[in-house]
């Protein structure tokens, strides 16, 4: 038996990670719907065989089976074995052994449909997020000044004039002798 196309098994999976089957009841419902069967009229032998095949396939893929899957397999095997017993003994003891399984499947299917409906509803803080902006804390942006071409030309001319005015000057040191300085100082003092 091949794995269903919607069966997702991640590489290096250590647990049963099935996209379609969330639990053993999901797998059972999948097998029943695949054969277009009524839940009330489950052919236990065929479903049990397919269920066990899927469990074997999961073991071959080295997936660690959840205890729930094995428990469901044991339950199906028990129901199958009871179906093989004479019908008079079964009816005297418990009635139809499939009744509890059918009840659980129907209840599970109802819960699953309700859960899918709830999942489709919009949730606060999941589908949208409120953005709060304090405009007082934002720096105020000034619009750029309107500038005409004449103003740009004038500003450029001023910059060029400043460059000319602040041209680099070479400063030379005057060479003066000590004698010249002494005579200058004496001339001021006599003065």
With respect to residue 86, please indicate whether it lies within any of the assigned structural domains. Answer: yes
The 10s digit of each residue's pLDDT in 72-126 is: 777 777 766 766 666 665 455 566 666 777 777 788 788 888 888 888 887 766 6
Is residue 68, in this structure, part of any structural domain at all? Answer: yes
- Number of domains making up the chain: 1
Does residue 17 belong to any structural domain of this protein? no
Which of the 8 DSSP states describes residue 137?
T
Looking at residue 39, what is its pLDDT? Answer: 59
Q: Is residue 8 part of a domain?
A: no
| Nearest residue to 33 (alpha-carbon basis) of 47, 14, 54 | 47
Residue count of the chain, please give it.
Answer: 191
In a domain, 69, yes or no: yes
105 is in which domain, residue-wise? 24-120
**In this structure, is residue 100 part of a structural domain?**
yes
Pairwise CA distance, residues 118 & 108, whole Å: 15
Q: Rg of the chain over CA atoms, in angstroms?
A: 47
pTM of the model: 0.36
């Amino acid at each position: 038996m091949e794995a269903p196309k919607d069966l997702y098994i991640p590489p290096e999976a250590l647990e049963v990670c099935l996209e379609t089957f969330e639990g053993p009841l999901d797998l059972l419902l999948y097998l029943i719907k695949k054969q277009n069967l009524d839940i009330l009229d489950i052919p236990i032998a065929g479903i049990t065989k397919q269920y066990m095949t899927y469990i074997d396939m999961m073991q071959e893929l080295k997936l660690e089976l959840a205890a729930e899957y094995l428990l469901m397999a044991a339950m199906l095997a028990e129901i199958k074995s009871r179906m093989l017993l004479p019908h008079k003994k079964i009816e005297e003891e418990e009635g139809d052994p499939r009744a509890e399984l059918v009840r659980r499947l129907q209840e599970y299917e109802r819960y699953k449909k309700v859960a899918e409906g709830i999942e489709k509803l919009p949730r606060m803080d999941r589908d949208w997020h409120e953005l709060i902006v304090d405009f007082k804390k934002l720096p105020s942006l000034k619009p750029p000044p309107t500038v005409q071409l004449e103003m740009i030309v004038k500003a450029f001319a001023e910059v060029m004039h400043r460059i000319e005015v602040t041209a680099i000057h070479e400063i030379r040191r005057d060479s003066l002798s000590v004698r010249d300085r002494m005579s200058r100082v004496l001339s001021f003092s006599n003065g």
